[in-house]
Amino acid sequence: MSGLWRCWTLLLLVTGLSHGLSGGMLHPRETPTRELKELGGIWSFRADNSPERDEGFRLQWYAKWLRQTGPVLDMPVPASYNDITQDIGLRNFIGWVWYDKEVWVPSRWLENLASNRIVLRVGSAHYFSIVWVNGAQVTQHEGGHLPFEVDISNILKDSLGCPCRITIAVNNTLTLNTLPPGSIQFMNDPTRYPKGYFVQNTEFDFFNYAGIHRPVVLYTTPSVYIDDITIITDIWESTGFVRYEVSVVGSDYYSVAVTLRCKLDQVVATAQGAIGQLKVANANLWWPYLMDENPGYLYSLEVKINANTDSGVCEDVYTIPVGIRTVRVSAQQFLINEKPFYFHGVNKHEDYDIRGKGLDWSTIVKDFNLLKWLGANSFRTSHYPYAEEIMDLCDKYGIVVIDECPGVGIRQPESFGNKSLQHHLVVMEELVRRDKNRPSVVMWSVANEPASQLPPAGYYFKTIITHTKELDSTRPVTYVSNANFNSDQGAPYVDVICVNSYFSWYHDPGHLEVIQLQLNNQFDNWYDKYQKPIIQTEYGADTIPGFHNDPPLMFTEEYQALVLKHYHAVLDEKRKNCVIGELIWNFADFMTVQSVTRVVGNKKGIFTRQRQPKSAAFILRDRYWKLANSTGYLHKLNV
């Protein structure tokens, strides 16, 4: 093992990586009792190019301003660092990179530390992060797609009148036990490679973008505060029910008042106590897009606590959107509010041109407008959790979400071992904790295209699916398979069969005539064996925009269009019995590692990376609006 990996392993041991969760993860919001300071913008940045990638730790870069340790770059946050500069070495960099920023904490926050907390929150950083404030390590986190936070009140108690230094070191190295997995390959032939040369191998088909990808914020809460809220909704005839549980930290002596308001800000129900139920007569239900005139209807739940402390009465207020809806799966249907729902949508990537996976509001809003233009009612967060800001819009607009964890590329036997399993369980805890209250999230996906035919896969996925159901009993759980129906070890434990297939692309490339036969057999085999509803979660073909040929050839727009039409012919027949959805791969072109099979990224998008339509987009648009019309709701929308 090289010094690079000795450094990585020792750091995990020294810093004591935790495999358990405590506390909630409420999204930071400004309320009458909470304030928020965003830390986005330009940060100082430096990659550790030392042979062992350990210079930053040996020389304690966190103990001073990063600019005092050597040359730094200006780096936007949130963003991936890979495509920001013209340096190809930084684009492909593997190892530790360092960020820091000077932050002035509001004086009123520091003057009230006896009765208030100050919390630092990172929306996500890929992949392993360590955080220091004024040179003191305050937290660490493994995983590149979910938020983490820490109370830094004690660190800041002597900071009045001077700036605070926040330092974050991020390592994008992937191993067989990370999620997603990867491996480092050292090239030891001195006639072909320089000394110490290595590459990061992955088994997923998207670029390993890295950096601080989502917003970094400071926020305050009172010393006695609302730590977590859990919402479960139900329906009986025209009455909606909102069951809630509030977790309070800082005192055992407090009162809880809960108020539910409609969109017009009128009070529709109230309750007292940390656990209770609200009853809403003639409830406005949360409906998916195109299933109702007013999709995505959200109530507002205000939780207010009062507690007695040594300094007097302490109050905290937090408001959370609530969508009243139910989800249920039968042998042949997926039901939302007891009405059959057919997924017609897309797979997406957080892939925003030069920003990589960094949160980009302009592209996010454009993407939602394109989803509406398509008539898409759903998407899968392939292959990792998306930003909370994206999920907020799904709740608001009525876009149904299959919420997938970063379990992509689990292909090697070692990735099914106990170490990987324990980390996978923690990731599912983090994901469920973050998204459990979202009406748009109707199903959890614990993996994409694992080697589920391997013998250890049965126990592995049984354990993860069982654990996920213990965390949330209200939603079905699945994973997405490309294994043979007869050898898939985890399929008995999922609620919905999700299948990826690329007939006439990866299989029998160029032979369009075999698609319908093979796809019919695929659906029949899966349904006959498991008697569970099926979603075609991926299908498609790489297409270079503007590339045409007649007769159709691979990589042309005509070929992509014919692949879709052959798939649709079978899907139209099978959705009468066992198929409950279809998600095209992919919404837009996206970046991958360089290879001879990829022309500057994956080109299976129906839109280009710049969000311009290919011919297939118009085929999907015509199909999806016709599918929406079959629900009988389309005429209400005057479309």
Q: Which helix (H) or strand (E) holds 171?
A: strand 164-171
Q: Can 513 be counted among the known catalytic residues?
A: no
What would the two tokens of residue 603 be? 């080109």
What would the two tokens of residue 142 be? 């493994």
> Residues 528, 578: contact at Cβ < 8 Å?
no
> Residues 468, 435: contact at Cβ < 8 Å?
no
Q: Give the count of alpha carbons within 13 A of 91, CB side only.
A: 14
Beta-bridge partners for 306: 255, 315
Q: How far is CA 43 from CA 67, 118, 173, in A?
A: 11, 21, 22
Q: Give the count of alpha carbons within 13 A of 377, CB side only.
A: 27
Q: Which of 449, 538, 557, 582 is catalytic?
A: 449
What would the two tokens of residue 109 be? 């926050």
- Distance of alpha carbon 371 from its chain centroid, rounded? 18
Q: Which of 362, 457, 475, 378 is nearest to 416 (CA)?
A: 457
CA dist 199 and 193 (Å) reads 11
Instruction: Find the largest Cα–Cα distance for the chain.
Output: 81
Amino acid at 566: H
What b/e readout covers 409-419, taking b as 16+ CB neighbours within 10 angstroms?
A: bbbbeebbeee
> Residues 467, 431: contact at Cβ < 8 Å?
no
* Cα-Cα end-to-end distance for the chain: 62
| 3-class state of residue 92 by DSSP | coil
Q: How many CB atoms lie within 10 A of CB 39?
A: 18
What would the two tokens of residue 13 be? 């041991």
Q: Give the count of alpha carbons within 13 A of 420, CB side only.
A: 27
Q: In what order do the strands lie in the sheet with 216-222?
A: 36-38, 216-222, 116-122, 148-151
CA dist 38 and 27 (Å) reads 13
CA dist 564 and 192 (Å) reads 44
> Residues 74, 42: contact at Cβ < 8 Å?
yes
Give the catalytic positions in this structure.
449
